[in-house]
Amino acid sequence: MPRKRSQSQPLRRPANPVTQPPLPLPGARAPEPQPGSRPDTSHPADASPRSTRTIEWLLQALPVRWRDKTRDLLVLVRMDRPIGALLLLWPTWWALWLAADGFPPWKYLAVFTVGVLVMRAAGCAMNDFADRKLDPRVQRTAGRPIATGRVKPREAVLVFVSLCLVGFVLVLAFTNRLTIYLSFAGAALAALYPFSKRYTHLPQVVLGAAFGWGIPMAFAAVTDALPPVCWLLFLGNVLFSTIYDTEYAMVDRDDDLRAGAKSTAILFGDADLPVLGILMATLLFTLLLVGQRAQLEWPFAAGLGVALLLFGWQLWNMRRRERAACFAAFRNNNWVGGVVWAGLVVALAIQ
């Protein structure tokens, strides 16, 4: 999920974390205070300034007494950081277009787009519940609603359950039996992911499985089947999420070490960039296999070529392991997901 942090010392020795003062990322600024709103401390340090200003503008339509709690709940489900939802949405769209062999039915496009947003929000609420004792010890997350006491843990659980119910209603009302069965596994994975960082250094892999579960669900809804290309694409999403969430974890590696959290960034250590390069190459090869099995035309390969250039830029930009560079690389994966989808759409259109 998105983590905005500041540029500081290179993270070449993750085993010896260095305490650093907070510095804003270039161009970041706090939103202007609004009548009836609370001070800037109500927003976590990694919030998107543009999204934060949008939330503050929308809150003006509510009575003053409701604004604080509404803001806290929106921040809890990361409405101030939409980049995470986009990174989860692209692979779901890959699956929808591939399963439909072209433009998917509007019903499924709407259901799965809304479903991704809803389940991502649910996962964020459960993540903050799971990290309620960890977040206050990490500079970037110390301003989150549960960490500061503005949202109670039981409220976060209630939000998670409510959003899962919304997602289940969407699946129940608009999809088939196979998709409904798969949705239970998806909800279980979404609940499991936030706790995985306590027991394994591979929470990024669990993230890929949890939020990539929309891929088999999309194939099940559109085709009522789970063909091999579905699982190949699912594997690609696990690789994709491991890449961008490792870059995200590199931003927080020092703090995570002090707090005792686990991540692939800590596991990879000084070999992080070479391992990321291997993962990027494996992802592109996996997507090539998807294109070969689906008999996609040359625009899909062209999209993968652009993705290769974007991955190359990410590795070069992170070569000094600066925090701001790692966060920029993380955000750049939105373009990777977009160009792969664009290549897929054009390839299917000319078949």
| The pLDDT value given to residue 5 | 43
Average pLDDT over all residues of the chain: 83
pLDDT at site 251: 84
Give residue-wise pLDDT tens across range 275-321. Answer: 999 999 999 999 999 999 999 999 999 999 999 999 999 999 999 98
Band (pLDDT 50/70/90 cuts) for residue 60 is: confident
Burial class (CB in 10 A: 0-12, 13-18, 19+), 307: buried
DSSP calls for 196-210: HTTT-S-HHHHHHHH
* CA-closest candidate to residue 296, choices 287, 308, 284: 287
More confident residue, 133 or 206: 206
The model's confidence at residue 45, banded by pLDDT at 50, 70 and 90, is low
Fold of 66-349: Tetracycline Repressor; domain 2 (1.10.357)
Which pLDDT value is given to residue 28? 40
What does the domain layout of the chain look like in residue ranges?
66-349
pLDDT at 4: 44
| Amino acid 82: pLDDT | 82
pLDDT grade for 246, boundaries at 50, 70 and 90: very high
Give the pLDDT band of residue 126 (cuts 50, 70, 90): confident
* The pair of three-digit structure tokens given for residue 136, joined into one six-digit string: 């206050």
Let me know how long the chain is.
351
Q: How far apart are CA 2 and CA 44, in angstroms?
A: 11
- Of 12-16, 145-149, 244-248, minimum mean pLDDT range: 12-16
- In degrees, rounded to 5, the angle at the alpha carbon of residue 221 between the alpha carbons of residues 219 and 225 is 50
- Residue 47, pLDDT > 90, answer no
For residue 173, give the amino acid letter: A
More confident residue, 23 or 128: 128
Largest CA distance in the chain: 57
pLDDT-derived band at 43, boundaries 50, 70, 90: low
Which one is predicted more confidently, 324 or 28? 324
Give the pLDDT of residue 9: 44
Query: Which residue bears the tokens 């359950």?
Result: 161
Per-residue pLDDT, averaged over 115-144, amounts to 81
DSSP 155-174: HHHHHHHHHHHHHHHHHHHH
